[in-house]
């Protein structure tokens, strides 16, 4: 079968906000040998509905199976694969980094450049809150790792499709 290249996909699913639904979704992934790279779940405006955002990896055929299998679950309302569409993706991370007299100024400069926040300070550590896409968080971690990261906590990606921008400009372009 020709299935194209393996690629990262951000998939968002609206599901019934009921006990056991997450387990149905994750069970589907483990049972069929699909991989979950990150997973994020929370209630939507409608308390009866939750949004699951998950990042997975696979070729076209695997991703097609993943979306079809998700749709087949009775508790899944809607599935969207954001890859190859216009979408906003964000992740938050808390990073506890060693902050000694010699490095504090540099850490604060980095925090400033990356537009993050220091949310906790102790004699030895700063805890930094950062929001961004995967690339930004990776870039920040690459810089901070040399200064000594004690621990990190990441939320995993959440995503949303960009609204259609149908201004006069766009129409003219067509």
Partner 1 sequence: MRISGAEIVVESLIQEGVSSIFGYPGAAITDIYDCLEKSPIRHYLVRHEQGAVHMADGYARASGKVGVCLVTSGPGATNTVTGIASAYMDSIPVIVFTGQVPTPLIGNDAFQEVDIVGITRPCTKHNYLVKKVEDLPLVIKQAFYLARSGRPGPILIDLPKDVLSNKTEFKYPKKIEMRNYRPTYNAHPRQIEKAATHILKAKKPVIYAGGGVISSHSSSELKTLAESLTIPVTTTLMGLGAFPGLHPLWLGMLGMHGTYWANMAVGHCDLLIAVGARFDDRVTGKVDLFAPEARIIHIDIDPTSIRKNVLVDIPIVGDCKDALGQLNQLVQKSGKQEWRKARQPWLEQIKEWKETHPLTFDQGKDDIKPQYVVEKIFETTKGKAVIATEVGQNQMWAAQYYHFDQPNSFITSGGLGVMGYGFPAAIGAQVACPDRIVFDIAGDGSIQMNIQEMATVKANNLPVKIAILNNGYLGMVRQVQELFYEKRYAQTFLKGNPDFVKMAEAYGIVGLRAERPEEVVPVIEKALSIKGPVIIDFKVCPEECVSPMVPAGRGMTEMLLV
**Least separation in angstroms between CB 66 and partner 1:** 10
C-alpha–C-alpha distance, residues 145 and 171, integer Å: 47
**71 is a contact residue toward partner 1 (CB under 8 A):** yes
C-alpha dist (Å) from residue 109 to 38, 117, 119, 134: 30, 11, 15, 21
Residues 6+ apart with CB under 8 A from 30: none
Stretch of 19-27, 99-107, 114-122, 128-136 contacting partner 1, by CB under 8 A: 19-27
**64 is a contact residue toward partner 1 (CB under 8 A):** yes
**135 is a contact residue toward partner 1 (CB under 8 A):** no
**61 is a contact residue toward partner 1 (CB under 8 A):** yes
**45 is a contact residue toward partner 1 (CB under 8 A):** no
Torsion over CA: 99, 102, 103, 105 (sign): positive
Q: Which is closer to partner 1, CB of 4 or CB of 117?
A: 4
**Least separation in angstroms between CB 24 and partner 1:** 6
**31 is a contact residue toward partner 1 (CB under 8 A):** yes
**68 is a contact residue toward partner 1 (CB under 8 A):** yes
C-alpha–C-alpha distance, residues 102 and 33, integer Å: 48
**101 is a contact residue toward partner 1 (CB under 8 A):** no
Task: Give the residue, chosen from 17, 38, 75, 131, that forms a contact with partner 1 under the rule CB under 8 A.
Answer: 75
Report residue 84: phi and psi, to 5°.
65, 20
Stretch of 25-33, 84-92, 108-116, 160-168 contacting partner 1, by CB under 8 A: 25-33
C-alpha–C-alpha distance, residues 51 and 138, integer Å: 25
Report residue 73: phi and psi, to 5°.
-65, 135
């Amino acid at each position: 079968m020709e299935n194209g290249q393996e690629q990262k996909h951000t998939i968002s699913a609206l599901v019934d906000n009921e006990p056991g639904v997450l387990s149905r979704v994750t069970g589907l992934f483990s049972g069929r040998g699909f991989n979950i790279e990150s997973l994020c779940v929370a209630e939507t405006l409608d308390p009866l509905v939750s949004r699951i955002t998950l990042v997975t990896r696979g070729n076209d055929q695997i991703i097609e199976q993943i979306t079809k299998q998700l749709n087949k679950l009775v508790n899944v309302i809607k599935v969207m694969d954001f890859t190859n569409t216009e979408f906003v993706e964000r992740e938050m991370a808390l990073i506890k980094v060693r902050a000694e007299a010699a490095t504090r100024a540099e850490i604060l400069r980095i925090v400033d450049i990356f537009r993050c926040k220091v949310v906790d300070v102790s004699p030895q550590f700063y805890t930094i809150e950062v929001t961004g896409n995967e690339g930004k968080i990776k870039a920040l971690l690459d810089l901070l790792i040399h200064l000594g990261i004690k621990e990190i906590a990441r939320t995993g990606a959440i995503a949303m499709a960009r609204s259609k921008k149908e201004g006069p400009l766009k129409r003219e372009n067509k």
